[in-house]
Structure 1
Amino acid sequence: MAAPDSIKPFSPEDIQKILHHLQQPAVFMNMTRDWPVLHWTAEHLSGCLGDKLVRFRLGRKEETNTPLFETQCSYVEAKLAHFLSWTRGQAGTDVGPFFEYPESEYWAYADYKYIATLFQDQPSMFEDVRWSEFGFEGRNGRESTLWIGTEGANTPCHLDSYGCNLVLQVQGRKRWHLFPPDDTVNLYPTRIPYEESSVFSQVDVLHADLRRFPAFQAVRAHVVTLQPGQVLYVPRHWWHYVESVDPITVSVNSWIELEVDDVARVSEAVTKAVVCAFKSAPSDDNTDNWLNPTEEGMPSHNENMQYLNLAVRASAQRHRGLRHSEPTQDQRDTRPVKRDSRGQIRKSRDLVSDCVAFSVPFGPHLTPVRCQQECWPEAGGVVTEGPEVSSDTAPRAKLASAVRLHQGKYECSPSLTPPCDGADGMSENSSEDYEEPIHTTITTNDLLDCLVHPDVIAHVTKLLLQRHTGNRSTTTPS
């Protein structure tokens, strides 16, 4: 009988090399067929959890042109059996605390559930998830999170600061809208709500208000609908908005924290100190629920400054160590230092192999998530594991129509272009159509959004490190 690895399209070593070279999101297929976790349907998990209460986030099923952040949602603690009864809409069944939320008006999401906590009394279940087959030795369900939702459940558009993601779809389908790091300026980043490891977008990417966020027209959306058994790789700093498109969805997410350089740590410490200082100051316009529920609580200003000083001190010590230490063979090498998935410096023989041209083996077992503005429908994203791989034309049309809708009278053509000139060389919008800019009161959040803008934080971080390390060549965080 053939060993499991022999029937897989890629070995763990193959996948590690692929991930090292992948510059865009991609979907792995036919890698998880024998993983026990594929039996983790909502019904199966309900039997495993029994009377254990799970926290669900609820939001209204309504189209708006503003994101629904986690700080604006309702929350209930319920059994998974209550959740299933609620989704089925059967009269007379026990739906627990969901009875206050009509299923026709709300979606529900049990998100960010750490499997290690959820099944701490059933540790054997950790082995049902086999990330070791992706080259992450020893990694399983213990280092993963579980996500269970209804149709319409979504995660606001954001990027993860420190790591990359591997996402296994178990039940139902989820649609991912992904944007490259270069689109950060077009997505209007914000740190309110605040979460240390995430930066959110102010734009509702499905119903963008282009009068408020005109630069969103330039985004390059990569869209894919993930099917059961498929694994999506999301590189570091790729923005993503995720929505469930089936009545019940279950997925498992493994967040792989990559090596984070000292500059990035200092940058995050600066952001945290500024945000907490501003939001702890009482004022009439500073009463919003700004701390994301995933955060444990707001640290004091003293704690934040201690953390900042530790981050700067670590950077200074590393800089001094590199400056005074005897150069090693790796440091004398003129090539840039390479690190593996665990952040360790890769050995010289690995570096030599990197010099050989490597082509990511896209094909029936690995498919790139393509940019919807750059490909025709027949070359689109992944939606099936079968022999035919068709495009995600529905979300592409939905996104394009939303953009056109909110362009309003400033739209000149179906393409995402700036207003065009009329035949007489003047804009089609006459002077009588011109609207004076609306001057609104500047709020604490408005000021804060500017102060913790990534470009501003990068510059402040550079100045701090130059002052305290004496390193004039300090680079800004990516």
Structure 2
Amino acid sequence: MAAPDSIKPFSPEETQRILHHLQQPAVFMNMTCGWPVLHWTAEHLSDCLGDKLVRFRLGRKKETHTPLFETQCSYVEAKLAHFLSWTRDQAGTDVGPFFEYPKSEYWAYADYKYIAILFQDKPSMFEDIKWSEFGFEGRNGRESTLWMGTEGANTPCHLDSYGCNLVLQVHGRKRWHLFPPEDTDNLYPTRIPYEESSVFSQVDVLHPDLRRFPAFQGARAHTVTLQPGQVLYVPRHWWHYVESVDPITVSVNSWIELEVDDVARVSEAVTKAVVSALKSAPCDDNTDNWLNPTEEGVASHNDNMQYVNLAVRASAQRQRGLCHSKMTQDPRDTCPVKRDSRGQIIKNNDLVRHSVPFNVPFGPHLIPVRCQQEYSLEARGMTTKDLEFKLSRNCYVQTPDDCTASSDAALRTKLASAVRLHQGKYECSPGLTQCRPCDCVDVTSENSSEDYEEPVHTTITTNDLLDCLVHPDIIAHVTKLLLERHTGSHRTTTPS
């Protein structure tokens, strides 16, 4: 008879079905009991890796009101023993290359570490991670990444172009701030720094500069603090900012494509070609470090165009295959054609399972990260400086145990009025960083003449041009036109 702690609330088949229907972030509880990976403390990993060097990213703890992108960080390669000595801040201990970075001023993060590479000489450790219990047969640590950092270590707010994420918190706690895809314009997307699989936000979501990014006031934050043993599901194209809140945190991330998205690959190919072409061209303002460290290097324009063509052909070929399948389908079979992440058609019994109406079984074992009303200011320890920003937000979420409804309706009304005035004073085009005063503002402030600012006229840079050209809406339209052109379905105009 199975031990009580080995009984999981959902079977692999049930979990797989849940993942196919989840449209919002959610936390799986009690699904990782017995997973050996839960013993992966920093000390344990140090013993396993020995003298192996690991690359750490370091950033200053000071507030800047701008995201600290990976292109702006410092980097060191050190043994985990050095990292542990540094975090303990013990005088006289060997901290290796960390000695240049006072712990009081810096955080450190070993992020994006592919477990298959990190433990290539210890493949048995791959089996410590059992994603097969989430319905992904044969998937383990080999397809996962390791993340280990100190308090304050963070990943800038971004969305992943492909697939979704399953994140297991192993040690310590991490706080996730998530925003739905519909908030893309409110988060001011940028492709500089460039990373093929990520789109970054120009906003420091914890300390936003609302004069530059006023639309961020309309963003809807979903926030959850992930505890050890819990697994967070991040749906495709959900924005997320992640910060470590304990002295040392360890987590494991597995990126998964539930279904192949060829259109997304075409979009990324187009983006890569445009960004590389403009940023590789000699220009006085092309002096920034624009390529994210996770990218291997700058591809030639010829290579990028080959990539565009391959992506367009693959997408068109798959669409033709789907059309052919529908034409040859038995009329009595009402289930749609559906393919898995390898492009294989899902069997009929699976199709029936996916086509039947399904309610996600939220409850004690699956907790949604909801969008709820702002809770009391006192509970959040907010200052007067924070009030206008915090209450201008539509929502803010913690785990159910953390949430407390605010009862101060009078204060909320007063501050909401102040926010409306602020929102009316500036307007900003999505994706651009320069804002201008609105021409039609009804200013009621007694000091309106003092508050008025002349429009700022600045030189348009290559990055400004790119923010417009590779804005998600523009790239989506270009992708559509390219696919139509390739299939011959685009409209052509003839001279009159």
Same fold (TM over 0.5): yes
For residues 28-427 of structure 1, what are the structure 2 equivalents within 5 Å?
28-321=28-321, 327-329=327-329, 336-340=336-340, 344-371=344-371, 374-375=372-373, 377=375, 394=380, 401=387, 403=389, 413-415=414-416, 417-419=419-421, 426-427=443-444
Deviation, structure 1 residue 319: 4.5
Q: Cα gap change, 1:341/1:276 in structure 2, threshold over 3 Å: closer, same or farther?
A: closer
- Residues 335 and 352 in structure 2, CA contact (< 8 A), matched pair in contact too: no
Q: Identify which range, 311-320 or 226-235, moves more after superposition.
A: 311-320
Q: Distance in 2 between matches of 1:331 and 1:160?
A: 38
Matched, 1:455 2:473: yes
Matched, 1:435 2:453: yes
State the secondary structure of the residue aligned to 2:176: strand
Deviation, structure 1 residue 129: 0.5
- Residues 5 and 34 in structure 2, CA contact (< 8 A), matched pair in contact too: no
Match of 2:10 in 1: 10
Calculate the aligned-residue CA RMSD, in Å. Answer: 2.9
Q: Distance in 1 between matches of 2:17 and 2:5?
A: 16
State the secondary structure of the residue aligned to 1:205: coil
Number of residue-to-residue matches in the alignment: 452
Q: Which blocks of at least 5 consecutive residues in structure 2 are unaligned?
A: 394-411, 425-441, 492-496
Q: Distance in 2 between matches of 1:395 and 1:16?
A: 40
After superposition, the C-alpha distances for 1:358-412 in whole angstroms (9 at most, x for unaligned) are 22111111111111xx24659xxxxxxxxxxxxxx649999964825999xxx99
Q: Distance in 1 between matches of 2:60 and 2:243?
A: 14
The letter for the 2-side match of 1:440 is T
Match of 2:428 in 1: none
The letter for the 1-side match of 2:369 is V
State the secondary structure of the residue aligned to 2:166: strand
The letter for the 2-side match of 1:201 is S
Q: Distance in 2 between matches of 1:71 and 1:210?
A: 24
- Residues 206 and 398 in structure 1, CA contact (< 8 A), matched pair in contact too: no
Deviation, structure 1 residue 320: 4.7
Q: Distance in 2 between matches of 1:156 and 1:149?
A: 14
Q: Distance in 1 between matches of 2:49 and 2:269?
A: 38
Deviation, structure 1 residue 38: 0.5
- Residues 481 and 490 in structure 2, CA contact (< 8 A), matched pair in contact too: no
Q: Distance in 1 between matches of 2:79 and 2:332?
A: 59
Deviation, structure 1 residue 151: 0.3
State the secondary structure of the residue aligned to 1:418: helix
Q: Distance in 2 between matches of 1:83 and 1:209?
A: 33
State the secondary structure of the residue aligned to 2:259: coil
After superposition, the C-alpha distances for 1:97-120 in whole angstroms (9 at most, x for unaligned) are 000000000000000001111111
Q: Cα gap change, 1:160/1:183 in structure 2, threshold over 3 Å: closer, same or farther?
A: same
Q: Distance in 2 between matches of 1:227 and 1:324?
A: 47
The letter for the 2-side match of 1:129 is I
Q: Cα gap change, 1:305/1:341 in structure 2, threshold over 3 Å: closer, same or farther?
A: closer
Q: Distance in 1 between matches of 2:157 and 2:362?
A: 27
TM-score, normalised relative to structure 2: 0.85
Deviation, structure 1 residue 261: 2.9
Q: Cα gap change, 1:220/1:332 in structure 2, threshold over 3 Å: closer, same or farther?
A: farther
Q: Cα gap change, 1:186/1:337 in structure 2, threshold over 3 Å: closer, same or farther?
A: farther
Q: Cα gap change, 1:402/1:328 in structure 2, threshold over 3 Å: closer, same or farther?
A: farther
Match of 2:396 in 1: none
- Residues 211 and 406 in structure 1, CA contact (< 8 A), matched pair in contact too: no
TM-score, normalised relative to structure 1: 0.88
Deviation, structure 1 residue 3: 6.2
State the secondary structure of the residue aligned to 2:415: coil
Q: Distance in 2 between matches of 1:176 and 1:395?
A: 19
Q: Distance in 2 between matches of 1:399 and 1:356?
A: 51
Q: Identify which range, 141-150 or 359-368, moves more after superposition.
A: 359-368
- Residues 61 and 152 in structure 1, CA contact (< 8 A), matched pair in contact too: yes
Q: Distance in 1 between matches of 2:141 and 2:190?
A: 31
Deviation, structure 1 residue 281: 0.8
Matched, 1:465 2:467: no
